[in-house]
Structure 1
Amino acid sequence: MVALLPPSLAPRGTTAGLLGSIGAVAILIGIINPLQTYGSIPVALPVVIGAMFLIAAGQAQQSPVNRLIATPPLVFVGLISYSLYLWHWPFIVFSQYYLVRDLNIGEIMIAGAGMAICAIVSWRYVERPFRSRAISARSVCLAAAAGASVLAAIASALIWSNGLPGRISGEAAAINAAVGTNYRCPVSNFLRIGQSRACVLNLPSRNPSDAKVVLLGNSHVQMYAPVWESIFIERELPGLLVPANGCLPTVSVNITRECIDVAAGNLHELGKLSNAKTVIVGLTWTHAEDGLVDANGKTVDNRDDAELVRGLDDLIGRMHGLGKKVVLIGPIAYPGWDLPSELSRDLAFGRSPEKLTYLPAEEFQRQYGAIIQHFENRNNIGFARPDTALCDASRCNYVVDRRSIFADASHIAKAELFRFRAIFSDALATQR
């Protein structure tokens, strides 16, 4: 819109210089320090505003910044910029895919040179000819259609062949099969509950008030939903998943003050479900010492997860006050790195994995032993311990029978949920 303004409205003199300088600073800020911490502000906003100011200041070519970017080397970068834009991402993605890590400075320089060379070649032999009047619009359209058709055919073949799994070893393929397979509620299973939403788990009526058992928590309870649903079906229990994505289910402490509101809203809705006699609570157990806030938004000392434990005790007490029985899902050891993706690529490219595929049992005990003991000593809840399916005397395994237990850095792969069925079924039986 700024570029289309009439020349008579273009800023000149001091105004043009000021706008150009502001624009340059805004672009640098947007690149060096993106506004990612402000959720309501688009990350690219400073760069867009800065570009707008530079365009406005450059129409009369009186801004020092605009005279600088009008120098031949920078103009040439501008000429190849679209081709450079197209080439930079494949270089970065495929390099990181192969290396299974971020690029170092030397590799970034090599990748940058490769991008520039490819951009210059494609600008000279593809972009310029296609923009030339020497080639008819019909020829351009036919060439573009042919190229798109070839790409669509290749993509279809890759999808149909499931990514050509034969290209990697069986061991790598088995690990890779877990990537991204943790359960997510299908959109068709969502329904409204109060100001939030819930997910159907063996609830033919799709009426929340008919649910007799509720799963409550974030993605670390949602990942177990399929195995819980199979138990509900076996016992003829209509069920419901009430998610708190990105938050904890606790109302006295949580990750943010907004999460406390989410948790309180979910608890309020649960109080209305008179038929739901049992609530199964799951959550992400690991949090930084100062990673929780109280109901006033004040950061609390969560050393050794003491405040989290108190928050769960408070939630359990509130549940009991609503006449609900509680089953709590205990902690598991998880890798904290994208195990199936990274490990399968290391195996595929013939490299020895550098990261451990297990957590020493003594480390798990140090992190969670006291917490587990605390909730095992409570005789008024069911306490499910999924860690017993993965841990032995020496280690807590992330890979079992050459298959990844995890779909990413922390979520259980759907195909591995069978390992927890007996544990969950027994915990539920204690509260029936």
Structure 2
Amino acid sequence: MHGPARPDPLSAIRYRRDVDGLRSVAILPVLLFHAHVPGFSGGYVGVDIFFVISGFLITGIIAREIDAGRFSILRFYERRFRRIVPALSTMILAVLAASAWLYFPGDLEGVPRSALAASAFASNLWFFTDTGYFAGGADVKPLLHTWSLAVEEQYYIGFPILLMLLARFAPRGRVAVVGGIALISLTLAILMQRDTSGFTFYLLPTRAWELFAGALLALGAIPAVRVRWLREAIAWGGLAAVAFAVFCYDRTTIFPGITALPPVLGAAAMLYAAPGTSVGRLLSMRLLVGIGLISYSLYLWHWPLIVFTEYVTDLPLSGGTRTSVTAASFVAAILSWRFVERPFRDPARFSAKAIFSFTAAATLLIAAASLALMAQGGWPSRFRPEALRLLAARHDVSPARGQCHDNSLRGERPCILGARARPDTMLWGDSHGVELSYALSEKLRREGRALVERTTSSCPPVIGYDATDPRCAAANRAALDAIRADRGIRHVYLAAFWANGRFDDPAFVAKLDRTIVAIRSEGRSVTLIGAVPPQPFDVPRRLAHLAAQGRLSEALGVERSDVIARTIHLRGAVSRWRARGVHLIDATAILCPRERCDLLEAGRPLYFDSHHLSMTGARRVIAADR
């Protein structure tokens, strides 16, 4: 992924210790971010730094060999295969084996498919299409990190050919053409930076400019700066830009897009100016260079180790577990570098023919293992029936979820649920409202009544809420307009993920207050369905793990006091709303009748993931409202 990590006898490029040091600046934030180490909330930008380094090093090799008249596509891919395939294949096979041992049905089924995609350098395409509530989150995707390898290898399918064509037909236009394509890619990334489909994040068209940034440096697009103080300023400015992104960005930052400029330009600045400066000496320190040398293997192994550990423990990394997994990642990386990377990169030990044969054999082996696992259909016979029954709660969702949720985003009419009657009720909310809507419609059906469901993912029913996706605001405006336009709607229920940690904010509560006032000013009653306690684990999976170990009696939810602390501002507004006639369904009190919140009712899980109520849980909440 990261170009040669030590002097490569097959190229004429001069080895720079500071580049290996820069690799450590890329991999360490990624590792610490994935390990949930406080302070590294923007560590994911390390991948972008790797892209710049790769573009710089590989372009330098290609351009030198083209200019010398000795470039060979076959030789180029031999070097790429030496660098990428052996360690990657070893990791993929280990992941397949570990997944077959650890993963429940449903979680296992996606792993062999992603392994096939990763072995074909197409995993970014796979993960781009593998979306949705039931596709599984990052915590069950041990090969998710291979998307960046796929982006690089897809880039290197066409880039050498582009440089060869330019050398032949437009040698003086090389920088202009590459720069123009980079500008187009950057412009597309900025225009699509609010895209929520994953296109901007996963796919090459909006990522290519980051590799081109390094490529342009290698092609001499920027004249060398000889003034020492200016080189120092550029190098330190680059390091500061990277540090800004690593320490100031977080999961809510709109990324990539224009926000990718600081880490990308910062990395480019260090590649450009670091040699001979204090930054260059810093990056050339033995420890940083050593980490840089194993950075590819460290990137490959850290993510599966984190994912499997969190899967088995049902908890995010923290404390001693985090320290142990981080240490294990370094051990695995050192072993991979010493016994896999280095031997295969030595032409004296493995000829070109051997490398191509190994690549073909590794690909076939991964395909065979993946197809064998896929044929097992999740391999449920590995687990106790009780564990599988509890795990099935993942599908205890609203029968109308696929049909009725996110209708506004799809431009479809909202669903009417309940009896065959004109609806007099609306449930307006985010994804937390889906199962509650169906449970409420069951209650109304018995009364000969119906409701309208207006639920939109990640969109709380709050006018003025500043969502990442602008369609959220449009969906909320449409819901309020529908209330105003339909005098038959007499009752409005509001439901959302109130306890997610972001909504318990005075400014947000003030907007919710104004929304309630706007609904009541139209003469409609308002019922607020309170906070559903989020759990620190996937509930069906946690219960299945406990059942598989014969420890289901130990199933405990989060403490009720924690939920109350997460919703202190919202709860503080309840008395004011009640005084105005707003009705509250206190979901926290219903789901947490004791000190710890419940996870089961009559042996059935109350959640279908970590924070969405299953139909069992939703019926319990609605039934408690008298």
Normalised by the length of structure 2, the TM-score is 0.49
Query: In structure 2, what is the equivalent of residue 47 of structure 1?
Result: 263
Given that 2:606 and 2:613 are in contact with CA atoms closer than 8 Å, whether structure 1 keeps it comes out as yes
Read off the aligned partner of 2:436 and give its amino acid letter: Y
Which of residues 402, 407, 415 in structure 2 aligns to 1:201?
Answer: 415
Which of residues 238, 242, 249 in structure 2 aligns to 1:27?
Answer: 242
Which of residues 398, 401, 405 in structure 1 aligns to 2:606?
Answer: 405
Query: In structure 2, what is the equivalent of residue 135 of structure 1?
Result: 352
Given that 2:493 and 2:526 are in contact with CA atoms closer than 8 Å, whether structure 1 keeps it comes out as yes
Given that 1:219 and 1:246 are in contact with CA atoms closer than 8 Å, whether structure 2 keeps it comes out as yes
Read off the aligned partner of 1:47 and give its amino acid letter: P
Q: CA deviation at 1:21?
A: 1.7
Q: Provide the secondary structure at the position in 1 that maps to 2:507.
A: strand
**Deviations along 1:301-349, whole A, 9 cap, x unmatched?**
xxxxxx96x65752442342xxxx5463543663543361445445545
Query: In structure 2, what is the equivalent of residue 206 of structure 1?
Result: none
Match runs of 1:345-360 below 5 Å: 345-346=545-546, 348=548, 356-357=556-557
Which of residues 280, 285, 303 in structure 2 aligns to 1:89?
Answer: 303
Q: 1:192 to 1:350 in 2, by over 3 A?
A: closer
Given that 1:256 and 1:293 are in contact with CA atoms closer than 8 Å, whether structure 2 keeps it comes out as no
Q: Provide the secondary structure at the position in 2 that maps to 1:178.
A: helix
Partner Cα separation in structure 2 for residue 102 and residue 272 of structure 1: 46
Moved more, 36-45 or 400-409: 36-45
Query: In structure 2, what is the equivalent of residue 63 of structure 1?
Result: 277
Read off the aligned partner of 1:15 and give its amino acid letter: L
Partner Cα separation in structure 2 for residue 179 and residue 421 of structure 1: 20
Given that 1:26 and 1:47 are in contact with CA atoms closer than 8 Å, whether structure 2 keeps it comes out as yes
Query: In structure 2, what is the equivalent of residue 156 of structure 1?
Result: 374
Q: CA deviation at 1:82?
A: 1.1
Query: In structure 2, what is the equivalent of residue 215 of structure 1?
Result: 427
Partner Cα separation in structure 1 for residue 490 and residue 332 of structure 2: 64
Q: 1:415 to 1:77 in 2, by over 3 A?
A: same
Q: CA deviation at 1:386?
A: 6.8
Query: In structure 2, what is the equivalent of residue 243 of structure 1?
Result: 455
**Deviations along 1:228-264, whole A, 9 cap, x unmatched?**
566788889786432354454355x868899888644
Read off the aligned partner of 1:142 and give its amino acid letter: A
Partner Cα separation in structure 1 for residue 446 and residue 413 of structure 2: 19
**Deviations along 1:379-428, whole A, 9 cap, x unmatched?**
xx98878789757799873311232202234321145545567678xx8x
Read off the aligned partner of 2:598 and give its amino acid letter: N
Match runs of 1:413-432 below 5 Å: 413-414=614-615, 416-419=617-620
Partner Cα separation in structure 2 for residue 33 and residue 369 of structure 1: 31
Partner Cα separation in structure 2 for residue 180 and residue 49 of structure 1: 45
Q: CA deviation at 1:149?
A: 0.2
Q: 1:339 to 1:124 in 2, by over 3 A?
A: closer
Q: 1:317 to 1:165 in 2, by over 3 A?
A: same
Query: In structure 1, what is the equivalent of residue 40 of structure 2?
Result: none
Partner Cα separation in structure 2 for residue 190 and residue 41 of structure 1: 25
**Deviations along 1:43-89, whole A, 9 cap, x unmatched?**
6554333211111124xx22222233335553343232111100011
Query: In structure 2, what is the equivalent of residue 118 of structure 1?
Result: 332
Normalised by the length of structure 1, the TM-score is 0.67
Q: 1:66 to 1:394 in 2, by over 3 A?
A: closer
Match runs of 1:72-83 below 5 Å: 72-83=286-297
Given that 2:408 and 2:414 are in contact with CA atoms closer than 8 Å, whether structure 1 keeps it comes out as no
Partner Cα separation in structure 1 for residue 572 and residue 234 of structure 2: 60
Q: Provide the secondary structure at the position in 2 that maps to 1:268.
A: helix
Read off the aligned partner of 2:230 and give its amino acid letter: T
Which of residues 240, 258, 270 in structure 1 aligns to 2:483?
Answer: 270
Query: In structure 2, what is the equivalent of residue 304 of structure 1?
Result: none
Partner Cα separation in structure 2 for residue 290 and residue 232 of structure 1: 31
Partner Cα separation in structure 1 for residue 558 and residue 318 of structure 2: 27
Matched, 1:293 2:293: no
Read off the aligned partner of 1:135 and give its amino acid letter: A
Structure 2: runs of 5 or more not aligned: 1-214
Partner Cα separation in structure 2 for residue 335 and residue 62 of structure 1: 53
- Of all paired residues, the percent bearing the same amino acid is 24
**Deviations along 1:357-393, whole A, 9 cap, x unmatched?**
38779x99xx979959986995xx9887878975779
Read off the aligned partner of 1:221 and give its amino acid letter: G
Moved more, 139-148 or 103-112: 103-112
Read off the aligned partner of 2:536 and give its amino acid letter: W
Given that 1:405 and 1:413 are in contact with CA atoms closer than 8 Å, whether structure 2 keeps it comes out as yes
Q: CA deviation at 1:123?
A: 2.9
Partner Cα separation in structure 1 for residue 406 and residue 503 of structure 2: 34
Given that 1:228 and 1:421 are in contact with CA atoms closer than 8 Å, whether structure 2 keeps it comes out as yes
Given that 1:213 and 1:277 are in contact with CA atoms closer than 8 Å, whether structure 2 keeps it comes out as yes
Partner Cα separation in structure 2 for residue 389 and residue 104 of structure 1: 30
Partner Cα separation in structure 1 for residue 333 and residue 286 of structure 2: 17
Q: 1:288 to 1:92 in 2, by over 3 A?
A: closer
Partner Cα separation in structure 2 for residue 197 and residue 70 of structure 1: 56
Partner Cα separation in structure 1 for residue 594 and residue 279 of structure 2: 66
Partner Cα separation in structure 2 for residue 240 and residue 311 of structure 1: 22
Q: Provide the secondary structure at the position in 1 that maps to 2:454.
A: strand
Flag the structure with higher strand content.
1
Partner Cα separation in structure 2 for residue 284 and residue 73 of structure 1: 45
Given that 2:527 and 2:585 are in contact with CA atoms closer than 8 Å, whether structure 1 keeps it comes out as yes
Read off the aligned partner of 1:242 and give its amino acid letter: R
Query: In structure 1, what is the equivalent of residue 97 of structure 2?
Result: none
Match runs of 1:91-110 below 5 Å: 91-104=305-318, 106-110=320-324
Structure 1: runs of 5 or more not aligned: 204-209, 301-306, 428-432
Q: Provide the secondary structure at the position in 2 that maps to 1:219.
A: coil
Partner Cα separation in structure 2 for residue 358 and residue 138 of structure 1: 53
Read off the aligned partner of 2:361 and give its amino acid letter: A
Query: In structure 2, what is the equivalent of residue 207 of structure 1?
Result: none
Partner Cα separation in structure 2 for residue 46 and residue 349 of structure 1: 48
Partner Cα separation in structure 1 for residue 465 and residue 506 of structure 2: 5
* Number of matched pairs: 392
**CA RMSD across the alignment:** 5.0
Q: 1:186 to 1:7 in 2, by over 3 A?
A: same
